[in-house]
Amino acid sequence: MTAAPERILVLLKPDAVERRLTGEILRRIEAKGYSLTALKLVVPTAEVLAAHYAEHVDKPFYPGVVEYMTRGPVVAVVVEGQRVVAGVRSLMGATDPTTAAPGTIRGDFGRDWGTDAIQNLVHGSDSPESAAREIAIWFPELGA
């Protein structure tokens, strides 16, 4: 018996697209051994973001998050594999790119740019349950 594959919703945020880092970030996820099962380039609406960041909408930095995340396209990706949530979040590194460990995506490519919202290149769902909720928001056409 093998465990059922898990899924995670990954967003390559506007700074990743602007800095031409989408290929490098997807390369790291694929090189780790995970599979990309859905992918799209989209400029998020405020409505999609409010649903996605429901836990943060009342935080003082949320208006900055909207400004950051709606300033250009993001690449939304569904990634699959056993324990993929833990694996991708480990590849991503800590939320704060200034102190994220070297070798991680945020540690290698991110820094503080003095903006209200932390710009950290990538989002990854924090649990399989969050992944299911977020995949339904970004990929309603998958019906899953």
Chain positions contacting ligand IDP, by CB under 6 A: 56, 61, 65, 95, 117-118, 120, 123, 126
Distance CA 39, CA 26 (A): 11
101 within 8 A of 107, measured Cβ to Cβ? yes
Give me the 107-126 binding string for Mg ion, x by CB under 5 A, dash otherwise. -------------------x
CB of 143 to ligand IDP, least distance (A): 26
Eight-class DSSP state of 122? E
- Residues near Mg ion (CB under 5 A), total: 1
Binding site partner of 71, from ligand IDP, Mg ion, none, Cβ cut-off 5-8 A by kind: none
Catalytic residue list contains 52: no
Residue 108 binds: one of Mg ion, ligand IDP, none (C-beta under 5 to 8 A by kind): none
Q: Is the dihedral of CA 94, 28, 78, 120 positive or negative?
A: positive
Ramachandran region of residue 81, left (φ > 0), alpha (ψ -120 to 50) or beta? left
Q: Which of 123, 124, 125, 134 is catalytic?
A: 123
The string of DSSP codes covering 18-78 is HTT-HHHHHHHHHHHT-EEEEEEEE---HHHHHHHTGGGTTSTTHHHHHHHHTSS-EEEEE
* Residue 95 binds which entry of Mg ion, ligand IDP, none, CB below 5-8 Å type-dependent: ligand IDP
CB of 61 to Mg ion, least distance (A): 13
> Is 108 or 126 the residue whose CB approaches Mg ion more closely?
126
> Active-site positions?
123
